[in-house]
């Protein structure tokens, strides 16, 4: 009888100890040690209690077994509660241990930039390519014929004085305009023609606002029934894409030997919207390109029937466009490879 | 070109403000680059009447009581020697602005504002002014050149603003002219345009004169070079009295920047500015042989021009000769031997058209230019040649400085100075513009432009004045000039009438980049992703750049195309390599204190087949990468190369190479599929020193034309292998001089399932014998049709080990 009581007593003792022990556990390692000692395995305290059942009378066994099972159930439930609590606690501790100084600067991945001229060039190409223009890149070294004569600027033409030319031989020169590319294309291809010809051009001019090398982008359309109105319509689209919706164009008379009529094209100042500011020098307009209806003689020089076809051409200065776009005040900065400049003009 | 408003008003009634005129000219194609009032810096000047004038003792000063009408009477101290009571002078009131002069009272040194002051204890409230202080010269206003007060006429209104009286309220327009309108290179030419845009009548300057019966017996002109001189006219004027020109003429010339010399010379300059016709006057007494001959100069023939300079000529230069010697460099400058002097009693006037190119070439070749040559270079028409002579002779009559003989010679090639008829279709004119300009408007515009239009159905008949050479047909077939007419119509009708359309009748075209262009752009983006900044350099470089690269004499890079007229020697050769520009760019950055960075350039190099050029040279697209600084090494550059290859899905191979400007042991060629694309390597120390560079740099150049073969390489999906890859780490011991490349090649050849070989350790010393090193690799085997078991892998490894042993005497490290 005494033994029986001992057995029953140890049940309540164990329960009290479990309750007590659980509260002293500090981490999951201790928790699992506790589990091994009290709950699991053949040598655990619970198992030992179970083994004690054999010593009981059969009538008592059932109630004792039930009591042990209840204790077991209770203990596992308490363990699970504790396990959950411990996991949260330890996660918390781990996070706290990984507290860092968030203000320390990070070393950024090095990403280079495209040159401002390339950026502008790509932007313009994308706009015109979407309008059906192919890209044709001519050569930087040209003959006098393609650069001048075929463009209606024969020897002794006053327009030759407009462009100080670098000569390489009596016949070869550095192209002064990307228009030279027009002729090569028109010689090889019959209309419809829509080409865009970007590239470097050269003039013997070197001062604060002129660089002996600069970049142009020439556009040419030749097809049936092309008019000055089509030129304006296309340039309207162009300026809105480049300088924003609401930008307007203005044509005014000018002169290029290879177009007639020839126009200078201004767009409404994108800085002040046309009210007048320092950028547009108070005029409300910014000169952006030269253009015109392709001179009949140029078409004829290329074997295109000027009665059946007509066209327009335009030439954009890329340096000027880039300088306006990025607010660069000195053209020489574009060719100086100064990393302090190049790293600023990030536009991916 | 400078155009004074007052002068324009001689020919057109201008009833608009200077601002309105500027706008109208701008819309019609004449940009006014600058416009200013002659007296823009001068204000607050009234006519002051000196009531009393007392000398201040012991000074050169006088103290004056000056009556300035409604401005009151004030005390003014004055140091001029010509101040006296009863005189009327310009008075600068307190607050007025005038030009400040230096100690000589003549040199202008900026502007000054008049303040109340005290001189020797005498209060002075204003300043009596000289001509110079008002910005005037003797030519602009008689008496203004006197070094003292400017004396105003007795009838001047006391207290009234003197700006108008002195002509300081005149406006000057600086007009930019396009190359197609040489006919506007004169006051009359601009006046014609102003008359057209304002729809006013053009009042032609008088050209009447009376010829006397006097003749210069036997005088003749011969033009030996009609190609260079299509028209030459000469007129003999006698009983010449050389003297001063009248004030109005001197003022006109002064306004356009020409100093008055003498009446005859001034007439020639006046006609140049007014009509746009360069004129010359020879002192007839110095013309020998009673004839003028226009011919090419003989080789080595000499002439001394008016300004005393001697020139040695060639047959490319056109000269005007008398019966014996050259007397003028045609169209550029007269000869000293026949210049107009005070003693001149008879002159031979010349009005000619010379070929513009000939004058330009002569002016450039001799480094000698003049107002006349500048005018000829732009193109002079024969209409003006005739008009100019008439105007000059009229002015001789008007100025009374000579008698006009009846000896007039006009040698020409038969070109008419009458208008040329031209027919155009109105509908074709409109087809250029894309709008329909009402026919009445077209006719009205044509009338205003002096084209005398006549309309018959769709046919517009015009009379093109001879001065509009830009509108005249060039050759017989050139009749369909409707674009010219369209241009004239729209610039007057107004470009704002053009309606935007979007090529309604055009066919659809497919636009976009070519594969090459896309490939290049993708390459540039890869380079950016590798931390490299794009830069752009001139297509030309310096001969010294070739030396910087230490290129041997026979190096192909030295065969560079030379610019015949470079800006300077440093910009005189077309680039044959991009390396030099890149090195210079790195050096410039270092000088700015930037001690590390990455740059790339994509540009053309120019490779001539032969020199001088007889055919287009090869223009080869080339990539140059330059990196510098302590963070860089041979291997960071190699990583860039690998990055490029990776991005294009190709594999580069490298082989050691010697380059004159690269480190002898840190330079390689770059090849792909056996084709050499370029090189990269560390910049040689002597090159680095020459550029005073503080850090090391690495340069790569790749031929993009060759690389472009792989642009847009088609990528095909490879199904993922069902079986896992197997890796083995292998450590070897080998001779120190064996390279990674040798080992890797040997391993790769030994087994076809190797997907990757990765070196992860190189070690010397310790247990490794002297002269040897250890390299450790991870080799990855990729199964194909069946998985590899350990046994199979061991067989692969054994074979690799045998190969390494046999070929390179490499052992597995114990």
3-state secondary structure B324-348: CCEEEECCCEEEHHHCCCCCCCCEE
Contacting residues for A81 by C-beta, under 8 A, at least 6 apart: none
Paired residues of B598 in beta bridges: B627
Judged by CB atoms closer than 8 Å, whether chains meet at A342 and B535 is answered as: yes
Q: Which residues of A are less than 8 Å from B540 in CB distance?
A: 212-213
Scan residues 250-269 of A and list those with Cβ closer than 8 Å to B: 250-255, 257, 260-263
B617 interfaces chain A, CB cutoff of 8 Å = yes
* Nearest residue of B to residue A168, measured between CA atoms: B563
Burial of A175 (0-12, 13-18, 19+ CB in 10 A): buried
Is B505 in Cβ contact with A223 (below 8 Å)? yes
- The single residue listed with the structure tokens 């093109």 is B464
Q: Which of B636, B678, B635, B627 is nearest to B657 (CA)?
A: B678
CB proximity list for B536: less than 8 A, separation 6 or greater? A115, A117, A334, A335, A337, B601, B603
Residues with Cβ within 8 Å of B791's Cβ and at least 6 positions away in sequence, in order, are none
pLDDT of residue A3: 56
pLDDT at B195: 97
CA dihedral B267, B269, B271, B272 (to 10 degrees): 170
Q: How far is CA B460 from CA B418, B423, B797, in A?
A: 19, 6, 94
The alpha-carbon gap from A301 to the nearest alpha carbon of chain B, in Å, equals 13
Sort out which chain A residues have CB atoms less than 8 A from B627's CB and list them.
none
CB contact under 8 A, A167 and B563: yes
Residue B337 vs residues A1, A50, B332, B345: alpha-carbon distances, Å: 159, 143, 15, 15
Listed residue (B162, B170, B172, B167) closest to B141, CA to CA: B167
Whether residue A233 and residue B500 make contact (CB cut-off 8 A), yes or no, is yes
Gap between the Cα atoms of A254 and A263, Å rounded:
5
Neighbours of B762 (CB within 10 A): 10
Closest CA to B90 of B166, B26, B21, B18: B166
A206/B616 Cβ within 8 A:
no
Position A336 scores a pLDDT of 93
pLDDT for the residue numbered B66: 96
Contact A112 B598 (CB under 8 A): yes
Query: Distances from the Cα of A325 to the Cαs of A14, A120, A267, B1, in angstroms?
Result: 83, 9, 13, 33
Q: For B1-49, how does the pLDDT look when each residue is reduced to its tens digit (9 = 90+)?
A: 999 999 999 999 999 999 999 999 999 999 999 999 999 999 999 999 9
**Predicted pLDDT of residue A26:** 86
| Per-residue confidence (pLDDT) for residue B315, from 0 to 100 | 95
Contact A261 B432 (CB under 8 A): yes
Chain A: nearest CA to B580, how far in angstroms? Answer: 13
Contact assignment for B506 to A162 by CB distance below 8 Å: no
Q: Do A110 and B564 touch (CB under 8 A)?
A: no
What number does CATH give the domain B2-38+171-198? 3.30.56.10
Q: Could you tell me if A244 and B526 are in contact, meaning their C-beta atoms sit under 8 angstroms apart? A: no
- Does the beta-carbon distance from A254 to B527 stay under 8 Å? no
pLDDT tens series, chain A, 348 aa: 455 667 777 888 888 888 888 888 888 888 888 888 888 888 888 888 888 777 777 788 888 888 888 888 988 898 899 899 989 999 999 999 999 999 999 887 889 999 999 999 999 999 999 999 999 999 999 999 999 999 988 777 766 766 689 999 989 999 999 998 889 999 999 999 999 999 999 998 888 788 999 999 999 999 999 999 999 999 999 999 988 888 999 999 999 989 999 999 999 988 888 888 888 888 899 999 999 999 998 999 899 999 999 999 999 999 999 988 888 888 999 999 999 999 887 764
Taking a contact as any Cβ pair under 8 Å apart, which residues of chain B between 265 and 294 contact chain A? none
To the nearest whole Å, the CA of B695 is away from the closest chain A CA by: 16
Contact A251 B495 (CB under 8 A): yes
Separation CA B585–CA B628 (nearest Å): 11
- Sign of the Cα torsion B84, B64, B133, B164 reads negative
What is the interface size between A and B, counted as CB pairs within 8 Å?
Answer: 255
As a whole number of angstroms, the distance between CA B435 and CA B427 comes to 10
Q: Which CATH architecture has domain B421-496?
A: 2-Layer Sandwich (3.30)
- Residues of A whose CB is below 8 A from B535: 115, 337, 342
Q: Cα separation of A154 and B723, whole Å?
A: 73
Cα-to-chain-centroid distance, residue B629: 39
CA angle B526, B530, B534 (to 5 degrees): 75
Residue A124 and residue A118: Cα distance in Å, rounded? 10
Query: Residue A132: which of B378, B511, B539 has the nearest Cβ?
Result: B511
- Beta strands B726-735 and B772-781 are antiparallel
Q: Would you call A159 and B182 a contact, using CB atoms and an 8 Å cutoff? A: no
Residues of chain A neighbouring B534 (CB-CB closer than 8 A) = 112-115, 118, 342
Its pTM stands at 0.84
Q: Which residues of B touch A132 (CB under 8 A)?
A: 508-511
Rg (CA), chain A: 43
Report whether B767 contacts B704 (CB < 8 A).
no
Scanning A86-145 for CB atoms below 8 A from B yields: 109-115, 117-118, 122, 125, 128-135, 137, 139-141, 143
pLDDT of residue A1: 47
Q: Which residues contact B46 (CB under 8 A, 6 or more apart)?
A: B68, B69, B71, B90, B91, B93, B159, B160, B161, B162
Cβ–Cβ contact A333 with B under 8 A: no
Predicted local confidence at residue B479, as pLDDT: 65
Give mean pLDDT, residues B307-324.
Answer: 94
Distance from the B516 Cα atom to the nearest Cα atom in chain A, whole angstroms = 11
Q: What phi and psi, each to the nearest 5 degrees, are found at residue A321? A: -60, -45
Instruction: Name the token pair of B728.
Output: 């083995």
CA distance B376 to chain A (A): 11
- Of A149, A40, A174, A286, nearest to B561 by C-alpha is A174
Phi and psi at B521, nearest 5°, equal: -65, -40
Q: What is the DSSP letter of B766?
A: T
Taking CB atoms and an 8 Å cutoff, what residues of chain A touch B500?
229, 232-233, 236
Percent of chain B with pLDDT over 90: 87
The number of beta carbons lying within 10 Å of the beta carbon of residue B751 is: 16
| Residue in the structure block whose two tokens are 């070294």 | A141
Residue A227 with chain B: CB contacts under 8 Å: 431-434, 501
Report how far residue A220's alpha carbon sits from residue A174's, in angstroms, rounded to the nearest whole number: 21
> Which residue, chain included where needed, has tokens 């994308």?
A126
Are the CB atoms for B200 and B11 separated by under 8 Å?
A: no
For B728, half-sphere exposure in the C-beta direction (CA atoms, 13 angstrom radius) is 22
For B566, which residue in chain A has the nearest alpha carbon? Answer: A166
Alpha-carbon B490 to chain mean position: 28
Q: What is the pLDDT of residue B221?
A: 95
Tokens standing for residue B147: 């070094």
Judged by CB atoms closer than 8 Å, whether chains meet at A118 and B534 is answered as yes
For residue B594, list chain A residues with Cβ-Cβ distance below 8 A: 338-340
Where are the domains positioned within chain B?
2-38+171-198, 43-134, 220-412, 421-496, 515-710, 726-812
- Nearest Cα residue in chain B from A141: B616
As assigned by CATH, the class of the B43-134 domain is: mainly beta
Mean predicted lDDT score pLDDT of chain B: 94
Q: Report B:350-369 residues touching A (Cβ under 8 A).
A: 355-357, 360
| Whole-number Å distance between alpha carbons of A248 and A274 | 9
Task: Give the H or E element holding residue A316.
Answer: strand A310-317
- Give CA–CA dist A118/A157, Å, rounded: 34
Q: Residue B511: is its pLDDT beyond 90?
A: no
User: What is the C-alpha to C-alpha distance for residues B813 and B729, in angstroms, rounded to an integer?
Assistant: 11
Q: Give the span between the Cα atoms of B60 and B737, in whole angstroms.
A: 100
**Among A168, A236, A337, beta carbon nearest to B537:** A337
Are B511 and A212 inside 8 Å of each other by CB?
no
**Residue A267 distance to chain B (closest CA, Å):** 13
CB contact under 8 A, A130 and B565: no
Cα–Cα distances in Å, from B743 out to A154, B595, B651, B673, B730?
66, 37, 18, 20, 12
| pLDDT value of residue A279 | 83
A331 interfacial to chain B (CB closer than 8 Å): no
CATH superfamily of B515-710: Bira Bifunctional Protein; Domain 2 (3.30.930.10)
Spatial separation of the C-alpha atoms in residues B402 and B507, rounded to whole Å: 70
Residue to mutate among B34, B503, B583, with most A CBs inside 10 A, is B503
State the pLDDT at residue B718.
84
Kindly state the DSSP code that residue B554 receives in the 8-state scheme. T
Q: Which parts of B301-402 are beta strand (E)? A: 302-304, 310-312, 318-321, 326-329, 333-334, 347-353
**Tokens standing for B791?**
């046994």
Q: Give the pLDDT confidence score for residue A47 in this predicted structure.
A: 84
CA B628 vs CA B192, B583, B645, B689: distances in Å: 64, 10, 21, 14
Q: Which of B431, B536, B598 sits opposite A115 (nearest CB)?
A: B536
Yes or no, beta carbons of B498 and A111 under 8 Å apart: no
Q: What is the DSSP letter of B535?
A: -
Residue A3 vs residues A57, A60, A272, B641, B710: alpha-carbon distances, Å? 11, 13, 103, 87, 92
Take residue B734 and report the two structure tokens written for it. 């080998």
Interface of B with A in 426-445 (CB under 8 A): 431-435
Contact A213 B433 (CB under 8 A): no
Considering the domain B220-412 in this protein, what is its CATH number? 3.50.40.10
Strand intervals (E) in B102-133 = 108-113, 117-119, 122-124, 127-128
Q: Say if the Cβ atoms of B585 and A337 lie within 8 Å.
A: yes
> For the domain bounded by B726-812, which CATH number is listed?
3.30.70.380
Domains B2-38+171-198 and B421-496 share a fold: yes
Question: What's the rounded Cα separation, in Å, for the pair A69 and A51?
Answer: 12
Sequence-distant (≥ 6) Cβ neighbours of residue A151 within 8 angstroms: A177, A179, A180, A182, A183, A257, A258, A298
- Residue to mutate among B26, B373, B495, B559, with most A CBs inside 10 A, is B495
Give A221's contacts in chain B (Cβ within 8 Å).
503, 506
- On whether the CB atoms of residues B628 and B697 are closer than 8 A, the answer is yes
Confidence band of B439 (pLDDT split at 50, 70, 90): very high
Q: Does B425 touch chain A (CB under 8 A)?
A: no
């Amino acid at each position: 009888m005494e033994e029986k009581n001992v057995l029953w007593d140890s049940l309540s003792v164990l329960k009290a100890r479990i309750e007590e022990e659980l509260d002293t556990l500090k981490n999951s390692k201790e928790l699992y040690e506790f589990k091994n000692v009290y709950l699991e395995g053949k040598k655990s305290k619970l198992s030992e209690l179970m083994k004690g059942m054999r010593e009981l009378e059969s009538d008592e066994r059932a109630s004792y077994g039930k009591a042990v099972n209840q204790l077991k159930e209770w203990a596992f439930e308490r363990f699970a509660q504790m396990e959950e609590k411990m996991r949260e606690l330890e996660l918390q501790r781990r996070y706290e241990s990984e507290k860092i100084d968030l203000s320390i600067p990070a070393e950024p991945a090095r990403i280079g930039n495209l040159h401002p001229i390339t950026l502008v060039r790509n932007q313009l190409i994308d706009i015109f390519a979407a309008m059906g223009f192919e890209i044709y890149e001519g050569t930087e070294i040209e003959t006098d014929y393609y650069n001048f004569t075929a463009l209606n600027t024969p020897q002794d033409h006053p327009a030759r004085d407009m462009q100080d030319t670098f000569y390489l031989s009596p016949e070869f020169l550095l192209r002064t305009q990307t228009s030279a590319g027009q002729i090569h294309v028109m010689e090889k291809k019959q209309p419809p023609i829509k080409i865009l010809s970007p590239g470097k051009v050269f003039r013997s001019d070197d001062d604060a606002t002129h660089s002996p090398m600069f970049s142009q982008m020439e556009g040419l359309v030749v097809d049936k029934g092309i008019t000055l109105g089509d030129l304006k319509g296309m340039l309207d689209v162009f300026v809105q894409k480049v300088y924003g919706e609401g930008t307007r164009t203005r044509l005014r008379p000018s002169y290029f030997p290879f177009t007639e009529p020839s126009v200078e094209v201004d767009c409404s100042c994108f800085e002040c919207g046309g009210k007048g500011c320092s950028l547009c020098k108070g005029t409300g307009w910014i000169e952006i390109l030269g253009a015109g209806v392709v001179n009949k003689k140029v078409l004829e020089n290329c074997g295109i029937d000027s009665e059946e076809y007509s066209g327009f051409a335009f030439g954009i200065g890329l340096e000027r466009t880039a300088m306006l776009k990025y607010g660069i005040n000195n053209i020489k900065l574009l060719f100086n490879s100064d990393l302090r400049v190049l790293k600023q003009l990030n536009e991916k | 070109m400078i155009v004074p408003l007052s002068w324009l008003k001689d020919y057109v009634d201008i009833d608009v403000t200077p601002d309105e005129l500027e706008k109208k000219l701008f819309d019609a194609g004449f940009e006014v680059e600058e416009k200013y009032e002659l007296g823009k810096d001068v204000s607050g000047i009234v006519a002051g009447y000196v009531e009393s004038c007392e000398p201040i003792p012991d000074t050169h000063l006088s103290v004056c009581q000056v009556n300035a009408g409604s401005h009151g009477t004030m005390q003014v101290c004055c140091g001029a020697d010509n101040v006296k009571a009863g005189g009327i002078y310009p008075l600068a009131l307190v607050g007025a602005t005038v030009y400040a002069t230096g100690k000589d009272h003549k040199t202008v040194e900026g502007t000054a504002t008049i303040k109340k002051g005290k001189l020797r204890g005498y209060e002075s409230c204003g300043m009596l002014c000289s001509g110079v202080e008002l910005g005037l010269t003797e030519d602009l206003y008689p008496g203004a050149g006197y070094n003292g007060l400017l004396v105003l006429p007795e009838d001047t209104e006391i207290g009234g603003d003197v700006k108008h009286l002195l002509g300081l309220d005149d406006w000057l327009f600086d007009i930019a002219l396009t190359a197609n309108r040489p006919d506007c290179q004169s006051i009359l030419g601009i006046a014609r345009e102003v008359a057209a845009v304002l729809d006013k009548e053009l009042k032609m300057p008088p050209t009447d004169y009376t010829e006397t019966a006097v003749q210069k017996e036997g005088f003749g002109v011969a033009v030996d070079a009609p190609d260079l001189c299509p028209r030459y006219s000469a007129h003999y004027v006698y009983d010449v009295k050389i003297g001063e020109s009248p004030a109005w003429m001197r003022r006109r010339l002064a306004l356009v920047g020409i100093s008055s010399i003498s009446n005859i010379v001034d007439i020639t300059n006046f006609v140049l500015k007014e009509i746009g016709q360069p004129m010359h006057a020879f002192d007839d007494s110095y013309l020998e042989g009673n004839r003028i001959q226009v011919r090419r100069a003989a080789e080595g023939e000499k002439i001394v021009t008016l300004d005393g300079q001697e020139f040695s000529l060639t047959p490319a230069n056109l000269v005007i000769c008398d019966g014996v010697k050259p007397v003028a460099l045609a169209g550029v400058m007269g000869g000293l031997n026949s210049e107009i002097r005070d003693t001149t009693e008879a002159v031979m006037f010349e009005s000619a058209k010379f070929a513009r190119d000939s004058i330009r070439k002569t002016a450039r070749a001799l480094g000698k230019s003049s107002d006349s040559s500048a005018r000829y270079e732009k193109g002079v028409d024969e209409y003006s040649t005739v008009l100019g002579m008439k105007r000059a002779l009229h002015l001789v009559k008007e100025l009374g400085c000579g008698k006009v003989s009846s000896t007039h010679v006009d040698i020409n090639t038969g070109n008419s100075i009458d208008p040329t008829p031209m027919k155009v279709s109105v509908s074709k004119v409109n087809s250029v513009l894309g709008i329909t300009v009402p026919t009445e408007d077209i006719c009205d515009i044509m009338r205003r432009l002096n084209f005398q239009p006549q309309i018959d159905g769709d046919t517009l008949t015009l009379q093109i004045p001879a001065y509009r050479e830009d509108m005249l047909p060039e050759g017989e077939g050139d009749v369909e000039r409707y674009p010219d007419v369209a241009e004239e119509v729209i610039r007057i009708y107004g470009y704002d009438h053009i309606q935007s359309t979007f090529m309604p009748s055009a066919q659809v075209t497919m636009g976009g980049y070519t594969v090459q262009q896309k490939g290049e752009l993708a390459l540039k983006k890869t380079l950016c992703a590798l931390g490299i900044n794009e830069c752009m350099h001139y297509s030309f470089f310096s001969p010294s750049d070739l030396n910087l690269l230490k290129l041997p004499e026979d190096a192909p890079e030295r065969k560079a195309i030379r610019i015949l007229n470079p800006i300077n020697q440093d910009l005189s050769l077309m680039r044959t390599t991009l390396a030099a520009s890149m090195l210079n760019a790195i050096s410039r950055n270092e000088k700015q204190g930037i001690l590390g960075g990455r740059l790339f350039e994509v540009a053309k190099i120019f490779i001539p087949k032969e020199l001088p050029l007889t055919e287009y040279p090869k223009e080869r697209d080339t990539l140059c990468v330059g990196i510098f600084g302590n963070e860089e090494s041979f291997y960071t550059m190699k990583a860039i190369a690998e990055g490029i290859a990776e991005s294009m899905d190709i594999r580069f191979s490298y082989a050691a190479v010697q380059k004159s400007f690269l480190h002898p042991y840190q330079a390689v060629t770059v090849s792909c599929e056996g084709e050499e694309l370029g090189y990269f390597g560390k910049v040689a120390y002597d090159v680095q020193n020459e550029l005073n560079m503080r850090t090391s740099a690495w340069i790569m150049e790749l031929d993009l034309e060759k690389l472009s073969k792989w642009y847009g390489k088609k990528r095909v999906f490879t199904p993922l292998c069902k079986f896992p890859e197997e890796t083995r780490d292998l450590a070897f011991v080998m001779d120190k001089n064996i390279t990674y490349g040798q080992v890797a090649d040997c391993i790769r050849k030994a087994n076809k399932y190797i997907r990757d070989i990765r070196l992860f350790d190189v070690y010397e010393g310790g247990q490794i014998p002297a002269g040897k090193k250890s390299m450790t690799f991870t080799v990855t085997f990729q199964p194909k049709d069946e998985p590899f078991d350990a046994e199979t892998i061991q067989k692969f490894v054994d074979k690799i080990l045998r190969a390494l042993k046999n070929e390179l005497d490499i052992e597995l490290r114990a």
